[in-house]
């Protein structure tokens, strides 16, 4: 089937806890929520329901193989061609995919954020703007600790063990090198208001070109 790209795709990558989601939220607010749909790569983690719970917890969630890239790519293409999708809902406390989904689209602008999205060549080729959020590792670790303990049912011990075992090594192997593909590198995450203005202005220019 021929793919005809109608929408605009903005990719926001960066390490875990870098501030990707905050930038996505602020850019969406600048442009108007009626035009923009935000999607997080985390929704596309593979369903681990077939594994015992203790084995699920030992999986490497920071490796590209942890993502159902085929589903992610097909749904992004569907959105860009003006269709609707059934977005997966992932439960981080059980490492399983819910039977429920969220109906999304169609929207003119898709903002996709995730640690590994710039590592994926096929996704990169669909992006109109590629952004990498560059934040100090200490700050990213503190944010990850706060998030995982408060919202994902983890303990400080398990978060730090996972960080040492997979998060940091995978960041160095896959996430950090993907910075080279970015059109724009943003320090300070969502607190960088100048960068957010620049991104929003560029997106508006892309919209105007298509009118």
Averaged pLDDT, 27-44:
87
Whole-angstrom distance, CA of residue 41 vs CA of residue 132: 14
Count: domains in the chain: 1
Q: What is the pTM of this model?
A: 0.92
- Residue 180, domain member (yes or no): yes
**pLDDT tens digits, one per residue of 91-102:** 988 989 999 999
Tokens linked to 46: 């593979």
- Residue 164, domain member (yes or no): yes
Closest by CA to 23, choosing from 135, 100, 107, 151, is 135
CATH assignment of the domain containing 203: 3.40.50.300
- Residue 1, domain member (yes or no): no
Averaged pLDDT, 45-61:
91
- Residue 129, domain member (yes or no): yes
- Residue 171, domain member (yes or no): yes
- Residue 132, domain member (yes or no): yes
- Residue 2, domain member (yes or no): no
**pLDDT tens digits, one per residue of 13-25:** 999 999 898 888 8
Q: Which domain holds residue 26?
A: 8-210
- Residue 3, domain member (yes or no): no
pLDDT at 211: 62
Q: In this model, does residue 106 exceed pLDDT 60? A: yes
**pLDDT tens digits, one per residue of 128-161:** 999 999 999 999 999 999 988 998 888 999 999 9
One DSSP character per residue, 18-60 reads SSHHHHHHHHHHHH-TTTEEEEEGGGGBPP-TTS-HHHHHTS-
Averaged pLDDT, 87-93:
92
Higher pLDDT: 105 or 41? It is 41
């Amino acid at each position: 089937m021929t793919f005809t790209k109608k929408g605009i795709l903005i990719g926001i990558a960066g390490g875990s806890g870098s501030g990707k989601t905050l930038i996505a939220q602020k850019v969406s607010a600048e442009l108007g929520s009626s035009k923009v749909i935000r999607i997080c790569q985390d929704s596309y983690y593979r369903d681990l329901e077939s594994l015992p719970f203790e084995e699920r917890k030992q999986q490497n969630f920071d490796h590209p193989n942890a993502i159902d890239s085929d589903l992610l790519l097909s749904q992004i293409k569907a959105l860009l061609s003006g269709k609707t999708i059934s977005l997966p809902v992932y439960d981080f406390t059980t490492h399983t995919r819910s039977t429920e989904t969220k109906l999304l689209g169609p929207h003119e602008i898709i903002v996709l954020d995730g640690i590994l999205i710039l590592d994926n060549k096929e996704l990169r080729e669909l992006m109109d703007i590629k952004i990498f959020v560059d934040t100090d590792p200490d700050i990213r670790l503190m944010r990850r600790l706060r998030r995982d303990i408060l919202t994902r049912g983890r303990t400080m011990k398990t978060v730090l063990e996972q960080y040492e075992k997979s998060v940091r090594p995978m960041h160095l192997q896959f996430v950090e090198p993907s910075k080279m593909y970015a059109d724009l590198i943003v320090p300070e995450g969502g607190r960088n208001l100048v960068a957010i203005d620049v991104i929003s202005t560029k997106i508006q220019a892309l919209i105007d070109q298509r009118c």
